[in-house]
Structure 1
C-alpha cells in the first residue's frame, strides 16, 4: 500500500470486547515499512504468550511510527453499547495518531466515519502486521489495567481472568456481587446484582 501511494497505513484493533468487567481498550498503530522484518513475531495477540506479548509491546511502542490506545470504561459501555463503543474507540484511536494515515485496516468489520479510506480484513490480527501490532498494544494495555484493578478491588481475581466470564469470575460475583467495574448491561452480570458492594472505581486513561 505504501508503494501504491496509500501510506502510511494504520491498523486498528480492540481488546476486552467479550469481557463482562473492566474497560474496552482500542489501539491504532502505524509501523514503519523497514520495521516489519524486526517484528517478524507479530501475530494475533491471543495466540501469543504473555511474555511474548510484553516483549513485542515494548518493541512496537518504542519503534512504531505512531500509536494510540483508547480506554473506554464499563460505564460508557453500558451507556452506549459495546459495538458503538468499539466503533467510537476506533475512530478516537485513529484520530489520536501523530501521523495522518492514508489508509486504515481494521480487524473483521468496517469502521464508518474514519477520515481515511479503510478496509476490514477477516482475521486481520493474524494477517496484517499493523493490525497485529494494534492488537498487542490493546491487549497488553488492558491486561495491565486489569492487574491494577485486582489490587484495587480484591476478591474478583481480575489479574487471573482479566474480566472475562469464566466460571471462577462468575463464582466471585455470586459470592460478593458485581463491582462498579462490571458491565451492568450484560445479562450475566445484571442477574447477579442482588448483593452488589460499593468498591472504589479506579481512574482509566488513554495512551497516545
Structure 2
C-alpha cells in the first residue's frame, strides 16, 4: 500500500522509494467549458528541485499561474500538452475526450514515466501503472504542475479565439458557462468553436432556428 509522506512531493518520494520513478502527473483544463478545446498536460518533476507555490490551478491568480508555468517548464524533467478540439469533444463526449487528452499528453513525454498520478479518476491505457487521487491537483506536486500547465495553455488558446470571435468574450470567461457568456450565446447563437453536446448551446441553436 502506498503511504505518501508529508508535503506536496510526498507521493513522488514514496513511489521513488518503491522503485517507481520517474513519476508523471496528468490533469486537464476545460472539461466544463461549453466552447473551445479541452487541454491536457503531463509533467514529470524533479523532487530534488522543488517548486514552491504549486496548487490547484483554479485557486491561483492568472499572474501566479503564468509565473509557475514558466518555472515548471524550466525546471521539470519533462512537460507535454495535448489539445482535444471542440469537435472531438462533441464526437467523443467529455469523459472520453478527457481520457484521450490525458493519454496523449503522457504518451508524448520525452521521458517515459514508471508511474502516473491523475486527478480524480483512473485513466486506463496510459502506458504505465497509475493511481487516481482525490483532489490530486492540491496534494501531489506533479498533478498540481500539470493542472497549471494545462490551464495556462488553454487560457492562451481561448485568448487567441477572442481575437477571432470578439463578441463572445472568450478572453474573459475562457468558454466556461458564465452568465455573461450565456447572454452572448443567447444573443448571437453558437460560434464555430462551441460544443454542441452542451444543452445550453444546443438549446440556443434550436431557438435560433425557429
TM (norm. structure 1) is 0.91
Q: Indicate if the aligned counterparts of 1:7 and 1:102 stay in contact, CA closer than 8 A.
A: yes
Q: Distance in 2 between matches of 1:17 and 1:165?
A: 11
1:101 alignment partner, SS class: coil
Gaps of 5+ in 2: 1-14
1:81 Cα shift? 0.6
Q: Distance in 1 between matches of 2:70 and 2:191?
A: 31
2:197 alignment partner, SS class: coil
Gaps of 5+ in 1: 197-208
Partner of residue 10, structure 2:
none
Partner of residue 15, structure 1:
29
Tell me how large the CA RMSD over aligned residues is.
Answer: 1.0
Q: Indicate if the aligned counterparts of 1:72 and 1:89 stay in contact, CA closer than 8 A.
A: yes
1:170 Cα shift? 0.4
Partner of residue 6, structure 2:
none
Matched length: 194
Q: Distance in 1 between matches of 2:49 and 2:144?
A: 13
Residues 111-156 of structure 1 deviation map (CA, whole Å, 9 limit, x = unaligned): 0112110000000000000000000000000001111100011100
**Do residues 190 (structure 1) and 196 (structure 2) align?**
no
Q: Choose from 30, 55, 63 the match for 2:44.
A: 30
Partner of residue 112, structure 2:
100
2:42 alignment partner, SS class: strand
Which stretches of structure 1, 4 residues or longer, exceed 3 Å deviation after superposition?
Answer: none
Q: Distance in 1 between matches of 2:62 and 2:159?
A: 13
Q: Distance in 2 between matches of 1:115 and 1:167?
A: 40
Q: Distance in 2 between matches of 1:153 and 1:179?
A: 8
Q: Distance in 2 between matches of 1:129 and 1:69?
A: 17
**Do residues 141 (structure 1) and 153 (structure 2) align?**
yes
